[in-house]
Every structure is written in structure tokens, then in C-alpha cells.
């Protein structure tokens, strides 16, 4: 059995999804997601120029050897571009494997460990009143878990993931900012004085049962993060995400020593080598890798197994920057993983996206119910895809009030 062709598509409704389709001489095809948010043309070029010419003629059933070939064989390994491209190949090969077996992918991992996987949505508000309304809406829809991000009084611009104006809805990940990024101004002191009390008010309003998550988005210094984690302990957060920049892993030791607030990290990790020490030293509670950026299902399954040895649960990245193909890979991993924690999942409500990626994965009462169709259980409509083309975009950049560059 051979791979006969592979094609890359870039584009989508309001988002540049990078979709890989691998074709075989057995008539079965596989789909993978290589969407590297706001840098989408790069994994696409890596696939087209370097990986696909080598892929043609390989036996798609040997997904482990193919993964090793592209990982070890690259010499200059890892990094988000290479790993997103390899991630797409790996997903597509698992899709083919499960389709050949006539089974939904989770069956190849060991079957279902649960009927539905709890998800969390993103509630945001330009101020606390708006945020309360946003949370209430998700609770009414049946969500059991919500990530909460709030505008900070006195901060001169919108902070991470919140709308610029009261009442405005903003898809902060899918909005195109053009090639020149928008500027956000960050003031740690205002955040530290406001956010712990705001979280306490949210807990008081919604009661003990709602799972409340909060993303610090790499903004704090280690000592500040420790202070914040300690201050919010009474709120009993489900997790505090990315308290410090991901490069300095020892920073989490300080946070850990001072607080029992659960820590989630990993959305920018590209390999098991980015998180093995954090997991083995039990410095985190949730690992947030994604099948796309971490190089596919093969390495993510290894990370999940390692995490399971150290009481670390999964909380895969699920921003709308991932296409429904990556989210389908997560749905199968979540159905199986014995140490499943939660899944980030956003409601974008676009029929266009459903038309481009038809699937039977369902969301009910804040749970994802995995599809029983063979393979990943998601398809890709090339006629729909022809409607879209690449549009350049950029993440915002962050500066302190005096102009100093900070972490987005």
C-alpha cells in the first residue's frame, strides 16, 4: 500500500486553516490539520516543499516509522512550524489507519473511557458586568466549565482576550489584524489589584459547582504569579493557565511552593521534551499540548501516558485556531485518555465551518460526544474550500505603559 499524493489547502471562513489531505492507492484518504495560528503559510510551505515529496511512495500504515523519519531525519528538529506540519501528517495517517480498520480512532487507542468529554468555553467581558453576562449565557447553555477573562479598570487598551468596548463581541483569535499587529498595553499592578477580587465575585455569583478557569497568558513574573495563585486559592479555580512565560520552567517551582491553585501549561509546547520535566517533577496539574503544534497524535499519546504516571491530567488546547480536524483528534484522545481532565472548546457558530468540515462529533450540555464513524470522523469539502483564500493576520503585541515590550 502506498501514498500516491498529498495536497495542502490554506483558507477557511474567517480563519486560515491549513488542511492536509493524504491519498493512497487503496482509495482511502486521511486528513490532518497544520494550522499554525497567524503563521499559516509556513507549515504549508514546509509540507509542500520538503515533506510531501518524501511522503509519496511510503506505506501509510507505518505511521510510527514515518513520524520518526520526519522527526529524526530533519536534523534541525522541532519548533512550531516543523511540528505543525508533521502533526498534520501524523493525524492523516491515523485517520487512514482507523478507516482501513473500519473503526472510530478511539478504538485503536483502547476504546472509550467515558461517554462525553467535559469542555470549557471562553467567557469574556470589557468589564466585570459584561463578563458576568457572558458567563451566565454559557451556564444557560449547559456548560459546566468556563474560562473567564475580564477588562481591567484603568488599563488603557483591551487586555488579553477581552473585547475593546462594552457589549462588543470579539473573536480575538479569529479576527484578522492585518500583517501589522494591534497593540495592547499591560499593567501588572492594575491586574494584580483587580483580578483576584473579580474571580471571587464570579465564584460568589455562580456558586461552588461551576468550574472556573483563568488564563494569565504568560504575563506575570514568577513572584507575582506565586502571589496571584495564593490570592485566588479561596476561589478554587479549576486552573490558572500560563502564569509565567513558558521558557522558564523553574518559575513554576516558585508558584508551586506558595500555592495549591492548579496550574495548566503547554499550548506553546512542540514536543514531549518541552514538558517531560514539568510532568515528572509534578510542577503542573494539566498539560495543554495540541495534536497540531506538538507533532501529532503519536507524540501526544506518549505525553498523555507520561502525564498519567504523575497525576497530571489533559486539558488540550482548543482555541479556534485549530481546525475541526485537530479537534476531532482531540475528541478521540479525550474519549480514551484515562487521565482526561477537560477540553477547551469554542463556540464560533459558523455554518460555513461545518460545511467545510462535515462531521458527526456533537456538543451536548457542555460535553463533546465523539463520532463513531471510521477514522477521525471529520471530512473536508474541497468545493467549499475553493471559496476561501489566505488572508494575512497577526497576534497583537503587548507593551508596558512606558513602551517596554512584554509577552502576548
Q: How far is the CB of 348 from ligand KDG (least distance, A)?
A: 13
Q: Which of 103, 102, 28 is nearest to 60 (CA)?
A: 28
Q: What are all long-range contacts of 266-270, with beta carbons under 8 Å and residues at least 24 apart?
A: 266/317, 267/242, 267/293, 267/317, 267/319, 268/80, 268/293, 269/293, 269/294, 270/78, 270/79, 270/80, 270/83, 270/294, 270/295
Of 96 and 220, which has the nearer Cβ to ligand KDG? 220
Cell 500583517 found at: 179
Q: Distance between CA 130 and CA 341 in Å, rounded?
A: 28
Q: Contact between 285 and Mg ion (CB under 5 A)?
A: no
Q: Which three cell numbers stand for residue 326?
A: 485537530
Angle at 95 between CA 91 and CA 101, to 5 degrees: 145
Q: Contact between 35 and ligand KDG (CB under 6 A)?
A: no
Q: Contact between 211 and ligand KDG (CB under 6 A)?
A: no
Q: Indicate the SS3 state at residue 50.
A: helix
What, of ligand KDG, Mg ion, none, does residue 319 touch, CB below 5 to 8 Å by kind?
A: ligand KDG
Site string for ligand KDG, 315-334 (x = CB under 6 A): --x-x-x-------------
Q: How far is the CB of 36 from ligand KDG (least distance, A)?
A: 9
Q: Contact between 344 and ligand KDG (CB under 6 A)?
A: yes
Q: Contact between 117 and ligand KDG (CB under 6 A)?
A: no
Which active-site residues does the annotation give? 160, 217
Q: Distance between CA 17 and CA 24 in Å, rounded?
A: 23
Q: How far is the CB of 148 from Mg ion (least distance, A)?
A: 13
**Stretch of 123-131, 201-209, 212-220, 374-382 lying at the interface with Mg ion (CB under 5 A):** 212-220
Contact predicate 276/269, CB 8 Å:
no
Which residue among 90, 95, 215, 285 contacts ligand KDG (CB under 6 A)?
215
Site string for ligand KDG, 266-295 (x = CB under 6 A): -x----------------------------
Q: Distance between CA 304 and CA 270 in Å, rounded?
A: 14
Q: For Mg ion, how many residues bind (rule: CB under 5 A)?
A: 1
Q: Which of 361, 288, 331, 367 is nearest to 106 (CA)?
A: 331
What, of ligand KDG, Mg ion, none, does residue 173 touch, CB below 5 to 8 Å by kind?
A: ligand KDG
H/E run at residue 253: helix 251-258
Q: How far is the CB of 6 from Mg ion (least distance, A)?
A: 31
Q: Contact between 37 and ligand KDG (CB under 6 A)?
A: yes
| Strand arrangement of the beta sheet that strand 18-24 belongs to | 3-10, 18-24, 29-33
What, of ligand KDG, Mg ion, none, does residue 255 touch, CB below 5 to 8 Å by kind?
A: none
Contact predicate 148/202, CB 8 Å:
yes
Q: For ligand KDG, how many residues bind (rule: CB under 6 A)?
A: 9
Of 147 and 256, which has the nearer Cβ to Mg ion? 147
Question: Which residues of the chain form contacts with ligand KDG (CB under 6 A)?
Answer: 37, 173, 215, 217, 267, 317, 319, 321, 344
Amino acid at each position: 500500500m502506498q501514498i500516491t499524493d498529498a495536497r495542502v489547502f490554506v483558507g477557511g471562513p474567517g480563519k486560515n486553516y491549513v488542511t492536509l489531505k493524504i491519498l493512497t492507492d487503496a482509495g482511502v484518504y486521511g486528513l490532518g490539520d497544520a494550522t499554525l495560528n497567524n503563521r499559516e503559510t509556513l507549515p504549508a510551505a514546509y509540507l509542500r516543499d520538503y515533506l510531501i515529496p518524501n511522503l509519496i511512495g511510503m506505506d501509510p500504515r507505518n505511521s510510527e516509522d514515518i513520524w520518526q523519519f520526519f522527526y529524526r531525519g530533519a536534523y534541525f528538529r522541532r519548533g512550531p512550524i516543523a511540528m505543525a506540519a508533521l502533526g498534520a501528517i501524523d493525524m492523516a495517517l491515523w485517520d487512514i489507519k482507523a478507516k482501513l480498520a473500519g473503526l472510530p480512532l478511539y478504538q485503536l487507542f483502547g476504546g472509550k473511557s467515558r461517554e462525553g468529554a467535559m469542555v470549557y468555553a471562553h467567557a469574556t467581558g470589557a468589564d466585570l458586568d459584561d463578563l458576568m453576562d457572558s458567563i451566565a449565557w454559557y451556564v444557560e447553555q449547559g456548560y459546566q466549565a468556563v474560562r473567564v477573562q475580564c477588562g481591567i479598570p484603568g488599563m488603557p487598551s483591551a487586555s488579553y482576550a477581552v473585547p475593546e468596548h462594552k457589549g462588543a463581541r470579539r473573536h480575538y483569535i479569529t479576527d484578522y489584524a492585518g500583517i501589522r499587529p494591534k497593540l495592547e498595553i499591560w499593567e501588572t499592578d492594575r491586574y494584580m489589584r483587580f483580578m483576584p477580587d473579580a474571580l471571587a465575585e464570579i465564584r460568589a455569583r455562580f456558586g461552588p459547582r461551576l468550574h472556573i478557569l483563568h488564563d494569565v497568558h504568560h504575563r506575570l513574573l514568577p513572584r507575582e504569579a506565586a502571589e496571584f495563585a495564593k490570592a485566588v486559592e479561596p476561589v478554587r479555580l479549576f486552573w490558572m493557565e500560563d502564569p509565567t512565560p513558558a521558557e522558564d520552567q523553574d518559575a513554576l517551582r516558585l508558584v508551586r511552593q506558595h500555592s495549591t491553585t492548579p496550574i495548566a501549561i503547554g499550548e506553546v509546547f512542540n514536543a514531549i521534551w518541552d514538558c517531560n520535566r514539568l510532568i515528572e517533577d509534578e510542577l503542573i496539574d494539566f498539560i495543554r499540548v495540541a495534536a497540531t503544534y506538538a507533532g501529532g497524535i503519536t507524540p501526544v499519546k506518549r505525553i498523555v501516558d507520561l502525564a498519567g504516571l504523575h497525576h497530571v491530567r489533559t486539558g488540550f488546547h482548543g482555541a479556534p485556531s485549530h481546525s475541526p480536524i485537530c479537534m476531532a483528534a482531540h475528541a478521540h484522545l479525550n474519549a480514551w485518555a484515562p487521565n482526561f481532565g477537560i477540553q477547551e472548546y469554542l463556540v464560533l457558530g459558523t455554518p460555513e465551518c461545518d460545511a467545510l468540515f462535515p462531521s458527526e462529533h456533537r456538543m451536548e450540555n457542555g460535553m463533546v460526544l465523539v463520532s463513531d464513524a471510521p477514522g477521525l470522523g471529520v471530512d473536508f469539502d474541497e468545493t467549499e474550500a475553493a471559496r476561501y483564500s489566505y488572508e494575512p493576520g497577526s497576534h497583537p503585541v503587548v507593551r508596558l505603559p512606558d513602551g517596554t515590550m512584554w509577552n502576548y
